[in-house]
Every structure is written in C-alpha cells, then in structure tokens.
Structure 1
C-alpha cells in the first residue's frame, strides 16, 4: 500500500482484517463476556437513541403545522445539535473513561483494604488466644506487687491493641459507601460552565448563526427558526449536565439507571408536545418548551440519584482534574468539529434549496442519527470494559472484548441497513402530508440505509480508542480522514490499537 507521497508502508503495517474472525464462533454465545458487553450496551444504546427518537416525534408533531414550520425547526435543531455535539461528545467520552479508570483503581484499593482488615482481625484473634486467663490462674505467693503490675500492664496493653485495631477497622468501614471520584466533580463543573456558555451564544447570536446556515433575511423560515432556537437554548445547561452524569454512570458500568430516567423524561416530553403545540396553540414555541421542561426534569433526577453514590464536592480543589480534561477535551473537540461539520454543511445546503427540500432532509437526518447511535451502546461497552481492564492490567480481557464487540457491531450494522430501508420507505408518510416531501424522503432512503454498517464500526472504533485513553489519535485520524489524507494509514492505525493490546497478553 502506498500513501499520498508514493512511499510504501512496511509489511507489518497491513490491516489485520482477521480480527473480525478471531473466535467468531463465540459471537452468538451468551458467555460471561457477552453478558457483560450486552448488559452495558443495550441500556446505553436505548438511552442514547432516546434523544433522536424524541426529536423524531417532535418532528412528526411539528410537521402537521406545515412545511415552513417543519423546515424552520429542522434548521434550528441542526444548529442546536451542532453546538451541543461540540461540547457533549468530548465531555461524555472523557468522563466515561476517566471515571471507569478511577473507579476501578478505587475498587482495587478497597479490596486490598478489606483483605488487610481480614488479616488484621485474624492476627488480633490469634493474639487474644495467646494471652493467659489471669482471673482463673492462681498466682503463687512469691509473686510481688511489682510482678502483678507488670502482668496488669501486659493485659492492658493487649486490650489497648484490640481497641486500636477496632478503631482502625471502624474508620475503614466508614470510608465504604459514597465514593470520592474527582473526575465526576470535574465533569459536572465543565457541564455547568459549557451549558451556560452555549445558552448565551445561541441566544444572542441566533440570527447571525441562522444566516450562516443559509437562511436569507426574507426567508419565511427565519423568524420561526430564530424564536425556536432562542427558546430551546435555555435548556442547554440541563442537556450538558444530564449527559455529563450519563458519562459518570457509564464509568460505573451502570447504564440502566440513566436509561430509566431518560425514557421517563422523554416520555413526558412526548406527552407535553400535543398539549403545548395544539391544545394550548403554542406551535413551535410549545415544542421547544416541552423539550426544555423534560431536560431539566431529567437533569434534576439524575443529580439526586448521583448524590447517593458520589461525593460531588472533592476534598480539595487540587483533586479536580481540570487540566487533564482540558487537554483531552481539546483533542476530541477537533474530532467532533470534523464530524458535525459534514452534517451541518448538509443541513445548510438543504436549507438553501428551500422549505420543501429542508422539510424532507430533517426526518432523514433524525432517522440516520437514531439508527446510527444504536451502535454507540456497543462503543460505550467496549470503552468502559477496556478502561477497567487496562487499569487492572487484564490485557487478555481487553483483547477479547475489543474483537467480540467489533464482530457484534458488524452484525448490528447489517441488520440496521435492512430495518432502516424498510421503515423509511414505507413510513415516510407519517412525517408530512406534502406529497413532494414524502417522495424526497423515499429518495434519501438508500443513502441512509447503506451507511449503517460503516457508521456502526466507526462508533465502536472510537470506543476502542477512548477505552485505551488514546484521545489524541482519535482526533488526529478523523481530522485527516475528513481532509482526505492517507485513508489506508488511518485504517491501519485503528487496527493497531487492537494489535498493541494483543501483544500485551
């Protein structure tokens, strides 16, 4: 293989595609590893896909207001999502890896402490058996008062030792319960700051940003899109805090708790949509208000649940990993900008074509996101398992988890292709009554469906890199790919992450 400069790579840099076939017979076997992967991936996937599904339902309700309202909401949502992803994905990805690593190390230290306590207790019991029963031993008459004092000191010393041991074990037991995870506190701090910053930017610069999206000053979409964007931006702090807390729970390998909260919150959103949009006749404003209320409800609930497990305030400000977050967050920021640039550019081009093409583009984009993000559940699983395995230096498990997850992902991608193709073709009519909009949605179907396997593998490769704390390469590779530079080398490097793990077995 040759790169753009015409130089060839070494033979040892060939892509090991055989990784997809290593222990492939175990793909459908529900062993301990598969149960762990699916136990994390399935709730995580449902939680991640809940947002696009809720947006899709919002889109369905808004679509019945008319094509102009649907197109205006599409432009505003695309812009809001662009701003959110720039901050969300770096924050959540870094938080998951750092919390998983920190929690694993803390659990290992706790087990070591418990073992030390057991040994200390056994040593204390053994020492107690060695102390004579002074009350039942009749002292010889030759024993002087001085000897009695010596014996009394020995017995008292033994009792003092027992008391000290009891105090030590009590203190250690008191430490078990709420955890002190510095990464969790740092994530919440960054989530709050970034959320407030996003609200300020989207509120005060709504119109210029919409102009940048391709809307003109005389466009019928401009006014409703501006009002929708400014109102929805109020929910930005809640969105970022909710996702930061999801990252914390993922680091604990608990994806079920956030799932219950998120599904409940978005169900409330769907319930509010027809009430606020149609019954109270608020239109687009009602759709934005329903989203805001549900987001703050979810953020509050997750915060209360998290407070039961983690001390949100660290012992000292020095414990906050601010510079570590900033360094790796800056690297992932490059990656996210590269990813979202394409989607934002596509939305901008659709908006320039007019309300009808934009109205057809929005449902296709939401379905593409919803189906693609199902693979993010597997990415979360492999990320947390790899981060924990590296902390425990269990490289054999890291290798098995990476290969098994990639195999599952490929199967999932093929299945999603068929599901999206059938669903989008026969269900296009639910998004609009306009015949032209429905026809354009059907035309987009092959592109949305065919990219599912590629999207799924891309998500999981990111999870592998994040689990190995290789944020720098993840950012570098995607930026080069977007610029069209040396795609072969990038694929090789992706597989090299797995190869390096294999060598450590």
Structure 2
C-alpha cells in the first residue's frame, strides 16, 4: 500500500522509481476511470495520426502503378516534405498540447485572470495543492456572476491563439523555402541533376509545398484540441480530408493524366479541407482574438519550442540521412526503402495516440500537483504501449509479406521490401515505447532533457548509419535505424527510472 503525503508524494518504502513501469501491471487493460480517459483520448488520436501516413501510402500505391522511377521520386519528395514539416511544427504541437492542458485545468479550477495564471506556470508554479486553484486577481468580482458568465462565453486559452499565429507564419515560410530550394534539397537527398528521378521529384515537391500553410495550421490546431482532451474533432477533420485525397488521387493521376502532379494537387486540396474544418470547430469553443500581445505568451513558446526544435532537428536528421543513403544506392533501393519506411511510421504512430493521451492527462495532473494520478497514468500508457508494439510486430511480420504487392510489382523492389520486413516488424515494441516515453516526458514539461538526450542519441545513430550503410548497404541502414529507436526508448526510460527532473518525487517512495 502507499500513503499520500501532504505534498502529493508517496511514502511506500518498498518502491523505487523504476517500478513505475510495472505498477498495477494486472490492470493494464482495465477500463476504470483512467483506462476510459486514456481510451477516449488515445483511440481517436491514433486514428488521426495514422490518417496522413495512410494517405501517403495511398499516394505511394497509386504512383507505384506508374513506374518504379516515379515511386522512388515521390518517396524522396514525401520524406523531404515531412521532415521539413516536422522541424517546423513538432515543437509547436508538443508545447501547445502541454500548455493548453495546463491552462484548461486552471480555467476549470475556477474563474480567474488568465494571464496571471499562465505567468505562474511560466515561473514554474502550479495550482495551490490545498485549494486546487490560484488566487483570483480581482477579489471584488462576484464569483457567481463570473461563473454564470463563464458558462456562456468561449474559453480563454492564450496558447491557442499563439499556436495559430506561429503555425501560419511557419507554414508560409516553409512553402517559400521548399519551392525556392527544391533542387538543392533534392540533391542533398541524393537526387542529382543527372538522375531520372529529379524532374518528377521536383514537380511533386513544389506542388505539395503549396499546402504547407494548411498542414502547419491544421497540426497547430490539433495540438490545441489535444490539450483540451478532444481528439475526436481532429479525427473527423483528418478522415474527411484524407478520404477526399483518396477519391481525388485516381481522378487527377489517371483520368486527367497528371501523374505525380495529380497526386500532389489532390494532397494539397485535402490539407486545406482539414485546416478549414478544424478552424471552424475551434473558433466555436475558444476565443481566438487576443486582447493584448502579452496575452499570447510568445516568450514561453519560444523558450520551450527552441528546446524541442533542437530535439526534432536531431530526430529529423537521422531519418532524412537514412532516406538519403537509400536514394544514393539507386531508385530500386529507394523505392523499397520508401514502402518500408511509410509502413514503419504509419504503424508506429498508433503508439503516438497513447503518447498524446499520456501527455494531456499528465500535464493536467502536474498542473494540480496530483502525483498519484501522474504515476498511475505514466505506468498505464507505458504498459499499453508495449502491448501495442507486440501486437503490431506480429501483424506486420506476417501481413507485410502479402501486402507488399499493393505498392509495386517490380520483382527487385519486392525482394528488397522482403529484406526490410523483419526490421519493420521487430522494432515495433521498441518504437511504441520510444513514442510513449516522449509523450510522458512532454506531459511533465521535461523539454530540456528531451532535447539534450536526443542530441546524444542522434550523434551515436548518425555514426552507426555511416559505418553500417557502408559495410552492409541496404541492410545496414535498417540495423542503424533499429539502434536509433532503441536508444530513444532507453533515453526515455532513464529519466523516469532514475527518478530525476520532474520525476524526482518518485525517489520519495524509498
């Protein structure tokens, strides 16, 4: 048994920080209050997160029918676009989810001045552990009047307005950058000026870049909805947009005979549909017009966003370098690598749904100093992540052998896909834990550790990529990616297992 102390920590002398991964293991699938909240957030989030990679897989399947050169060219362009988008938006989405969850928790605790509350969070403070609320700025305001007013008005969430502004600006910058620098970027990815992949790759990348503002805005709004613990709205918008993409793909590619250009145009249209739906729903719930510049709290975003930017650059460089090395081996190797990578990412992102649930619930728990709930949440999502990874490993180990022909009929590409399947399948439990550990540490606002640990992981992984790809070729790339994901999972485990940083309260078990 554990006894909760006045500061929210525990007094169980038999426990250690590492035991959080095994806490209440028999209740991993129990649909209690925590289990239902995780399922309510994680299931729609996982479906929404996998929708875009699945849409990319549909693009890949349609383009694969044109030919292996076009398949390889689009594979390079998709990898490049996604990695640049990830650099631009991942820090924003991650901090937005945590900040919105904190702000929404404080707002629900009672009617107060929002800026005053967020300033306490920025200074490292949280809700009063006894009163479960912050002291109102205006004591003379009638509480009953404010409560009645709060029931009628939209929520005041400063981070929502900040996320939209930053996402829109970053989207425009990304679009201009990719259009103007398409050729040198593709050259960096291994598609040289004399490559037969250059023209279709450049054509696809430039057209798809027109959708960058919509992509970044929609992802920023998804971060807001996640913080509000609403993952159904992003799911609806994403599915609607991606179904439109699937319908438009064959029309533009085959009926209008636009080939790779048609695939890009269909994807751009779908992204603007998603962004429009999300904005329409968000403005109904949240007041998006900031009263003052101070209200936006840009400093808080920039400080933590820069840390995660460092982290995502390290992550992006590893995956982009792997794709670049595959492209340099030739169009056949790149085509096979593209199929395996898209499946690898699409299935692994199912675990990111658990990460989103863990982040949102943990951010709320830490905001009110509820360490008991934080511990239970971290334990549950980690155990569920491992279970999901094992199921995915079995499914892909058998299913991908039969499903590979959906993407191509080229015999050599199929052979190389078969070589990559054991790595794609075997790394699923590792990938799932790595994603969930990220969500857990983001929920604790442990952005500094997440950034610095990933830089170390990236350095080791990049060295492994160079050594193993030169000595083992295509297989070496997948061995290096396995090492990379294993190190990511280990870094997440180390923080909680040692009871350091925001998890230092776990050390008081002993």
Q: TM-score, normalised by structure 2?
A: 0.83
Structure having the higher Rg: 1
For the residues of structure 1 that align with 2:427 and 2:72, how far apart are their CA atoms? 24
Cα distance in 1, alignment partners of residues 435 and 257 from structure 2: 40
- 1:41 maps to 42
User: What are the Cα deviations for residues 300-326 of structure 1, in whole angstroms up to 9, with x where unaligned?
Assistant: 110010000011111211111111111
User: Which residue among 226, 229, 233 is the counterpart of 1:257?
Assistant: 233
- Look up the match of 2:259: 283
CA distance in 1 between counterparts of 2:142 and 2:391 reads 59
**How far is the alpha carbon of 1:80 from its aligned partner?**
0.5
Query: Are the structure 2 counterparts of residues 504 and 464 from structure 1 closer, same or farther at C-alpha, using a change threshold of 3 Å?
Result: farther
Cα distance between partner residues in 2 of 1:40 and 1:447:
29
Q: 1:174 aligns with which of 135, 142, 149?
A: 149
Instruction: Give the equivalent residue in structure 1 for 2:314.
Output: 338
Match of 2:460? 484
Residues 336-382 of structure 1 show CA distances to partners (whole Å, capped at 9, x for unaligned) of 11111121111111111111111111110100000111000010011
Is 1:432 aligned with 2:408?
Answer: yes
Cα distance, 1:482 vs. partner?
2.0
Q: Which residue of 2 aligns with 1:103?
A: 104
Q: TM-score, normalised by structure 1?
A: 0.84
Consecutive unaligned residues in structure 2, runs of 5 or more? 1-14, 114-139, 462-486
**Which of residues 400, 404, 428 is equivalent to 2:380?**
404
Compared with structure 1, are the counterparts of its residues 274 and 410 closer, same or farther at alpha carbon in structure 2 (3 Å cutoff)? Answer: same
What's the offset of the Cα at 1:242? Answer: 0.4
C-alpha distance in structure 2 between counterparts of 1:195 and 1:217, whole Å:
28
Give the equivalent residue in structure 2 for 1:386.
Answer: 362
1:237 to 197, 213, 218: 213
Can you list the C-alpha shifts for 1:12-34, whole angstroms capped at 9, x where unaligned? xx995433322111112111111
Match of 1:500 among 493, 496, 504: 504
> Corresponding residue for 1:52?
53
Q: Measure the CA separation in 2 of the matches of 1:57 and 1:51.
A: 10
Does residue 198 (structure 1) correspond to residue 202 (structure 2)? The answer is no
Residue equivalent to 2:188 = 212
C-alpha distance in 2 between matches for 1:483 and 1:279: 47
- What SS does structure 2 have at the residue aligned with 1:483? helix
Matching of residues 53-132 of structure 1 within 5 Å: 53-110=54-111
Q: Do the aligned residues in 2 keep the contact of 1:15 with 1:491 (CA within 8 Å)?
A: no
Shift of 1:481: 1.8
CA distance 1:392–1:406, shift in 2 (3 Å):
same
CA distance in 2, matches of 1:170, 1:82: 49
Contact 2:77–2:204, Cα closer than 8 Å, also in 1: yes
Q: Which moved more, 1:308-317 or 1:186-195?
A: 308-317
Q: Could you say which residue in structure 1 is the equivalent of 2:472?
A: none
Matches of 1:183 and 1:316, distance apart in 2: 13
Matching residue of 2:33: 32
Equivalent pairs, count: 440
Query: Is the CA contact (8 Å cut-off) linking 1:481 and 1:490 kept in structure 2?
Result: no
> 2 CA distance for matches of 1:59 and 1:298?
21
Report the counterpart of residue 460 of structure 1 in structure 2: 436
Determine the structure 2 residue equivalent to 1:325.
301
Is the Cα–Cα contact under 8 Å of residues 20 and 378 in structure 2 kept in the other structure? no
Aligned to 1:301: 277
Residues 28 and 383 in structure 2, CA contact (< 8 A), matched pair in contact too: yes
CA deviation after TM superposition for structure 1 residue 110, in Å: 3.8
- Give secondary structure in 1 for the equivalent of 2:460: coil
Provide the aligned C-alpha RMSD in A.
2.2
2:365 counterpart SS class: helix
Q: Is the 8 A contact 2:17 2:507 kept in 1?
A: no
Separation in structure 2 between the aligned mates of residue 171 and residue 16 of structure 1, nearest angstrom: 43
Please report how far the alpha carbon of residue 489 of structure 1 lies from its aligned counterpart in structure 2 after TM superposition: 7.6
**1-side partners of 2:492 and 2:49: how far apart?**
27
Give the C-alpha shift of residue 492 in structure 1: 2.6
Q: Note closer, same or farther for the CA distance 1:375–1:489 as it changes in structure 2 (3 Å cut).
A: closer
1:367: which partner in 2? 343
Secondary structure class of the residue paired with 1:308? helix
